[in-house]
Each structure stands twice: as structure tokens, then as C-alpha cells.
Chain A
């Protein structure tokens, strides 16, 4: 098991930032909702990576935070998947440009 030192922390944060950046670029370049969903999942992957160094400092709170992040992000993505299906039913497409309002109504 690799120890948490400056080199591994730097590597983990650099990887996390690179994945976050790629997810962000995918999100801003997406024109359909599925690619947006993929980008969000990628960004959550970056969050998971950035949580690893926290385990060396406070393992139990880090595990609690990880569980919260995993379940809330999974729930959030589940809601987005339901929204994609509803968008397809209403508009007969899943393009981002057809979403004109936020809030309760899709």
C-alpha cells in the first residue's frame, strides 16, 4: 500500500484536477443530455480521487464523507436520468438547447 506523502498527494490531486477539467470540458461542449450526464459522472470520479488523502488524516470522517458523496451523487444522477426520459417524452429529443427553464418543471 503506498503511503500518503507529498508525491502521492501531488499525483492524486493532479489526476483529480485533470479528470475534473476533462469532465468540465465535456460538459461545456455537450449538446445532448446524455453527454452532460457522462460529464457529471466523470466530475464525481474526480471528487472521489480527491478524497483519498483525507483518509491519512481522519479515516472515519473521510469514509463517512465518501459514503455521503457516493450515495448523494448516485441519487442525483438517478434524478437526471429520469429527467432525460421525461424530456424525451415531451420534446422527442434530448438536446440541451430545448431546455428553456429550471426549477420544478422540466
Chain B
């Protein structure tokens, strides 16, 4: 086992532990901090696979904007909420885990020894004439529409 695989396992362990911290922490503020740590570790896994553009996007857009707003919200409404939990939910979760595990185990990739590196470059993605420029246009329109809907929601509430 090489050092990269050990690092990946360590990151995966921290990810699961911090996600467990979200579930087990009773204070929402600490839950948001654990959630932020989880998302930063997700971005770190992307960086480990040499996908730095996505590391930047996740850290700055997802954690930097939404995560911090969530932390601020949780700090504002800081309380010890009650929780509801039914152990009956464990049954469908266990069945899903078994089905997923079985399907991954029996996938044709198993045993063939396929090992392919990730060869992604941002320059290749953003080259001129790329069909993904249209995607960016639609995405920008979507984000503007979302912002407009939020403003409309908020102004409608004020009036």
C-alpha cells in the first residue's frame, strides 16, 4: 500500500468521524462546525486526486459561502433542540447498504486490476469552442434566477 492510499484512508476516516460528530452533537453550533470540517475534508480528497479547481470551488463556494452562513445561523439560533429518532429506519438503511455493497462487489471491474489515473486539466475544459461554454451560460442564468426568487420571496414577506 503506497502513501497516497494511506492518506486517502486517513482522510476517509476523518470524514466519517466528523460526519458522525454532526449526528451526535446536540448543539447545532458544534454540528455546523463538524459539517464544515467534513466539507473541507471532501475538498481535500479532491486535492489529493489532483483536482485543484474543484477544491477551490468547494472551499470557496460551498464552505466559504453556504457553510459560513449556516454557522452564523446556528450561532444566532443557538439552543439545545430535542431530537427525534426511530430505530426502525435502520432496517431500510441496512438493506440499501447490502444491495450497494453487493452491486459494487459484483461489478465487472472487480478482479480485473484496472487502475487509471485522473487526467483532468482546466485548460482542456475551458478551451475555445468548447460545448461547456453553453453550460456556463445556463448555469449563470440559473444562479441569477435563484437569486431573483430569493429576493422575491423576501420582498413578498416584507410587504
Contact = CB atoms under 8 A, between A and B. Distances in A.
Interface of A: 1-15, 17-19, 21-26, 28-32, 34-35, 37-39, 41-42, 44-45, 48-49, 52, 55-57, 59-60, 62-64, 66-68, 70-79, 81-86, 88-90, 94
A97 B89 CA distance: 19
A35 B9 CA distance: 28
Given A19-B16, A41-B66, A88 B77 contact: yes
Interface centre among B19, B31, B53 (most CB of A within 10 A): B19
A83 B74 CA distance: 14
Interface string B100-116: 10001000011101111
Contacts of B22: 22-23, 26, 38-39, 42
B129 to A, nearest CB: 13
B144 to A, nearest CB: 10
A38 B31 contact: yes
A37 B45 CA distance: 23
Given A2-B5, A17-B100, A55-B118, A86 B154 contact: yes
Contacts of B69: 78, 81
Interface residues of B, number: 77
A25 B23 contact: yes
A48 B58 contact: yes
Chain A interface SS verdict (over half):
helix
B61 to A, nearest CB: 6
Interface of B: 2, 4-5, 7-9, 12, 15-16, 19-20, 22-23, 28, 31-32, 35, 38-39, 42, 45-46, 48-51, 53-54, 57-58, 61-62, 65-67, 69-70, 73-74, 77, 79, 81-86, 89, 93, 97, 100, 104, 109-111, 113-120, 124-125, 132, 135, 139, 142-143, 146-147, 149-150, 153-154, 157
Contacts of B153: 79, 82-83, 86
A84 B119 CA distance: 41
Contact of B19 (A23, A56, A63): A23
